[in-house]
Structure 1
Amino acid sequence: MARKYSKKASTDVERVMKKRKAGTLKSGRSGRKVKSRKQAIAIGLSEARAKGRKVPKKAAKKRKAAKKKTAKKSKR
């Protein structure tokens, strides 16, 4: 089976996790310190996407698309 994420994306996430552990990782506009492990991973993946690395689309978008598809089928 093929890898979901590229190796470069993994290194981006690893770098962000180290920043989080050191206490220097800050979130978007607010600039607050990131304490959550999940949020740190999300930031790393987001940065990897921005660099054009091989990273799957966000899960929320997939779910939303699936809901629309089922809604269209039920109307018919």
Structure 2
Amino acid sequence: MSATIIRFDDVEAYEINNEEVTQILDESGFPGGEYPTTRTLPPILIIPTGLGDDVLGKLNGIDGVHAEVQTQ
């Protein structure tokens, strides 16, 4: 089983980039609110499946955003 973890460097990176991250996830079949997030600032997004390399590339291409697939 795998999940994709998306982190932001800091609150500023979250405020600047969250809309773009949400748009990429929406386009990938994960509408906002359909996946768990932490209540911390900046939040950590937990996508319950591994995202493809193309989506990971888009997310990791955003300054201050880090996405990685974790397997258990």
Greater C-alpha Rg: 1
Q: Which of structures 1 and 2 has the larger relative contact order (alpha carbons within 8 angstroms, sep 6+)? A: 2
Q: TM-score, structure 1 length as denominator?
A: 0.32
Greater strand share, structure number: 2
Q: TM-score, structure 2 length as denominator?
A: 0.33
